[in-house]
Amino acid sequence: MLKLIDGIVELYKKAATSLPPDVESVIIDSANKEEANSSSSNSLKIIGENIRMSRREMTPICQDTGIPIFFVQVPKGVSQREIKDIIYDATRKATDVIPLRPNAVDPVSGINSGNNTGEGFPVIYFDESENDTLRIDLILKGGGSENIGMTYKLPDKRLNAQRNLDGVRKCVIDAVFNAQGRACPPYIVGVGIGATKDQVALLSKKQLLRKINDRNISDDLAALESSLTEETNRLGIGPMGFGGVTTVLGVKAASNHRHPATYLVDVSFSCWASRRGTLLW
């Protein structure tokens, strides 16, 4: 399994140093939509140069190399415990060789482990693969973008939001408005709709794995994603909070069935540095 450890280290390296082409492309396009020589336009151009420099020099895109979140699809008969141990070994190695900033802090003692491993860190979600391929998806989730995430219970009197997609729309607009420029916009926004708090939180995180230019398989959710992208960009928050027409790069939504008494909505954010990657083994 030493080769798998090295493969996961390379996955870390790719995610930390090379922004996905779909994200880079929309950032470059967005710079041309902002007013010429404005702070918003210049900030997007600087971001673009940072992306190219990080890829060229193979150095992390951001000093906060994030919370590693793994979504692992394991072939039948493969030990999840073994894969978890391999991910932990790879994380310790990646912290040293890339390097990654040590971000795993014990909330009780306040001690940083120094190697990005600890109880529940990295975050790992397992599912069973439909074939014999081990699939590992990784998100490096910045702490700032995690802090601005929001969970809503509908109906919500404050927002006049009912238990329907219009209510979901109001939740997302509220979350983006409250985020302002605190977590390095333009954002990518993930939305999860379902029955329980833990369910929708995971579902919204998974949406951050999707490509910006993909289309939702649900026509209703595809329309919601499109309208929310337009509406949140009209908020005028703009790149890095400087104002402008690019507050979000995209909105991605998914739903699970809910209990008749519950209607939970979770909104997750990624900063512009949407660091994600996939390893097939």
Which of 201-218 are b and which e, b meaning 16 or more Cβ less than 10 Å from the residue's Cβ? Answer: bbbbbbbbbbebeeebee
Does 196 lie in the same domain as 88? no
Does 258 lie in the same domain as 151? yes
Last residue of one domain, picked from the residues 97, 125, 141:
141
Residues of the chain under the 50 pLDDT cut: none
Write out the two tokens for 128: 């069973």
Which among 281, 277, 218, 279 is positioned nearest to 253, based on CA atoms? 218
Domain count, the chain: 2
Last residue of one domain, picked from the residues 125, 141, 157:
141
The CATH number of the domain holding residue 126 is: 3.30.360
For residue 94, the model assigns a pLDDT of 98
For residue 37, the model assigns a pLDDT of 82
Rounded Cα gap, residues 22 and 255, in angstroms: 24
For residue 2, the model assigns a pLDDT of 80
Does 136 lie in the same domain as 6? yes
Q: Quick one: which H or E segment has residue 74?
A: strand 67-74
| Amino acid identity at 51 | I
Secondary structure letter of residue 112 according to DSSP: B
Q: Quick one: which H or E segment has residue 176?
A: helix 165-179
Task: Note the pLDDT tens digit of each residue in 218-249.
Answer: 999 999 999 999 999 999 999 999 999 999 99
Provide the whole-model pTM.
Answer: 0.95
| Amino acid identity at 190 | G
* 30 is a domain residue: no
Does 98 lie in the same domain as 87? yes
Task: Note the pLDDT tens digit of each residue in 68-90.
Answer: 999 999 999 999 999 999 999 99
* 26 is a domain residue: no
**Domain of residue 102, residue span:** 2-13+61-141
Write out the two tokens for 266: 């979770």
Does 82 lie in the same domain as 6? yes
